[in-house]
Structure 1
Amino acid sequence: MNDLFLLGTKGGPAVRTGGSMPTSSLLRIADQVIVIDCGIGVTRAIVNAGVTLMDVDAIFITHLHSDHILELGPLLHTAWTTGLKRKIQVFGPVGTNDYLDHFLQSMTFDNDIRVRDEGRIPLDTLIEVSIFTQGSLPDIGGINVDALRVDHPPVTDCFALRFEADDIRVVFSADTAYFPSLAEFARNADVLVHEAMLLEAVDALVARTGNADRLKQHLLASHTAAADVARIARDANVKHLCLNHLIPADDPQYSPADFIAQIKTVWNGEVTVGYDGCRIDLAPD
């Protein structure tokens, strides 16, 4: 089965009543189960998608903002307590190993007592961390993986990811400002999962969140307006554009129709405004 789940589709780390959860996705191709980013809620969302935690083969972290890595450790630990006995590969930028080292240290009591009392394999021996930068990454079960450094200031190590196998190409933009080079990276993708921001909603969002001036500067410098996302999709000739990491995702004044309206000013291809639990079939042509 080849498919893609958007597990969490909200841009930013805040969690609000009735709103969506921060960023995480799950990709199943070539008999591999791959998690991309681990925002809060990823563990439950994987299970809700009908996937067993022990079936996860690899996890990719696009960058170290909390809404992309906060639940990496808890996901691995929960897979372990669920019965994991084989290695999970974790790929991330510089700093990912530091995060995991400190997480494992914080769980020393629980880890040690479960090894002694329940006979479990030590968790640290089941986690294989690979630090990556731009370029080709090691294949995952026959899946070709490539990374492209994108523009997400002040973070410098933030990477779009491209997965190719079984005549399927799926690209994740990660968090980025409008980055024209991404169009070539995503050329002819079956699905481009790209973050999207409504410019007209930014003032209301920052007023609600606080630190309005600084936060607004960050959003405008570091994220992509929906119309510019459409330019990437058009220039890349993608088959299906899926909007993710939505800004805003929990403002009742705005709906998926507002995102689509911005996309359609530039591009008339197939577009899905992501929502938590959204599934996209990846059957090859």
Structure 2
Amino acid sequence: MNKLTLLGTGCPSPSHLRYGPSSLVSYEGTNYLIDAGSGVTQRLSEAGIKPGEIDYFFITHLHSDHIVDLYQLFISGWHTGRETKFKVFGPKGLKSHFDKIFEAYKEELDLRKEWEKRPNVEGLAYEITEINNELKIELDNATIESVKVDHHPVDPAFGYKFILGPKNIIFSGDTRYCEVLEKSSKDADILVHEVFVGLDYDPVRMSSDTIENISDYHTTPEEIGVLASNASVKKLILNHFVPPVFDEDVLVERIAKHFDGEIVVGKDLMQFDI
């Protein structure tokens, strides 16, 4: 069955209800994973998917909360039978980042390979394709396009558009209100968008600039509503909530003042037919 699964809808603040950001598109027998937040392998297990069954990985940007479990996916994919290269697409700098992690674990991995003698050695090869400005690629039965979003000072940062036969799904990644994203989301069947709900000042964890700066490079509920309305999105799915605990009814009300389409407050392990 063709479906979208929200694996993690949280943020860097730990939550047992919302794990780190990650989504799964399953289409015509191929699995595409978007981002690798903390706990994604556990959520995959809960969803009945082995890490070794993921065919392609897409990273939106190099913030730690979006890539922290990438190596875990690499190793657990090998453990669960992956026989082909670990194929990842993401922003410039991703290959260097992963090379360093691979090198840090090389001694342990060499020992494990030698002792465990698993037959699928090919599953320990990896191929990372870096996106400088634009990606448009056909993989199996899907076309995937990168969307350059605005998460400055994190640059580059991307969203992704999945064209799946007559349907299309847009993932915002992390971004401010972004006209490029709005244009790419025109008439989208599903827009999966991050949201900065709001933070209360805590002098133990924050300086006077913290809330302003975090808010500045994310998108507010009101801005999401305007973007979804302008783009005539059919279904808006909210994810990557900052903070992970909030009043859901109030959030929906804030967006609905600007957007009269379907609004879904995403939760981990929610699934949607494509």
1:267 aligns with 2:259: yes
Aligned to 1:4: 4
State the SS of the aligned residue for 1:135. coil
Which has the larger displacement, 133-142 or 100-109?
133-142
Compared with structure 1, are the counterparts of its residues 230 and 81 closer, same or farther at alpha carbon in structure 2 (3 Å cutoff)?
A: same
How many angstroms does 1:85 deviate by?
A: 1.4
Residue type of the partner of 1:217? E
Which has the larger displacement, 137-146 or 59-68?
137-146
Please report the RMSD computed on the Cα atoms of aligned residues, expressed in angstroms: 1.7
Compared with structure 1, are the counterparts of its residues 244 and 190 closer, same or farther at alpha carbon in structure 2 (3 Å cutoff)?
A: same
- The 5 Å alignment of 1:212-227 reads 212-227=207-222
Compared with structure 1, are the counterparts of its residues 30 and 166 closer, same or farther at alpha carbon in structure 2 (3 Å cutoff)?
A: farther
Q: Among the aligned pairs, what percent are the same residue?
A: 31
- The 5 Å alignment of 1:90-239 reads 90-120=88-118, 121-122=120-121, 125-198=124-197, 201-202=198-199, 204=200, 206-207=201-202, 210-239=205-234
How many angstroms does 1:136 deviate by?
A: 3.2
Aligned to 2:65: 67
Which has the larger displacement, 18-27 or 167-176?
18-27
How many angstroms apart in 1 are the aligned matches of 2:170 and 2:204?
Answer: 30
How many angstroms apart in 1 are the aligned matches of 2:13 and 2:78?
Answer: 27
Unaligned runs of 5+ in 1: none
How many angstroms apart in 2 are the aligned matches of 1:99 and 1:122?
Answer: 22
After TM superposition, the runs of 4+ consecutive aligned structure 1 residues lying more than 3 A away are 120-125
State the SS of the aligned residue for 1:188. coil
Compared with structure 1, are the counterparts of its residues 106 and 229 closer, same or farther at alpha carbon in structure 2 (3 Å cutoff)?
A: same
> Contact 2:187–2:233 at 8 Å: present in 1 too?
yes
Compared with structure 1, are the counterparts of its residues 123 and 100 closer, same or farther at alpha carbon in structure 2 (3 Å cutoff)?
A: farther
Deviation digits for residues 4-40 of structure 1, max 9, x if unmatched? 11111113x1214x44112111111232101100010
Aligned length: 273
- The 5 Å alignment of 1:29-108 reads 29-108=27-106
Residue type of the partner of 2:3? D
TM-score under structure 1 normalisation? 0.90
TM-score under structure 2 normalisation? 0.94
How many angstroms does 1:123 deviate by?
A: 6.5
Deviation digits for residues 141-188 of structure 1, max 9, x if unmatched? 131111121111210110011010221200001101111231111111
Compared with structure 1, are the counterparts of its residues 31 and 248 closer, same or farther at alpha carbon in structure 2 (3 Å cutoff)?
A: same
How many angstroms apart in 1 are the aligned matches of 2:159 and 2:136?
Answer: 12
Aligned to 1:244: 239
State the SS of the aligned residue for 2:208. helix
Compared with structure 1, are the counterparts of its residues 158 and 209 closer, same or farther at alpha carbon in structure 2 (3 Å cutoff)?
A: farther
More helix by share: 1
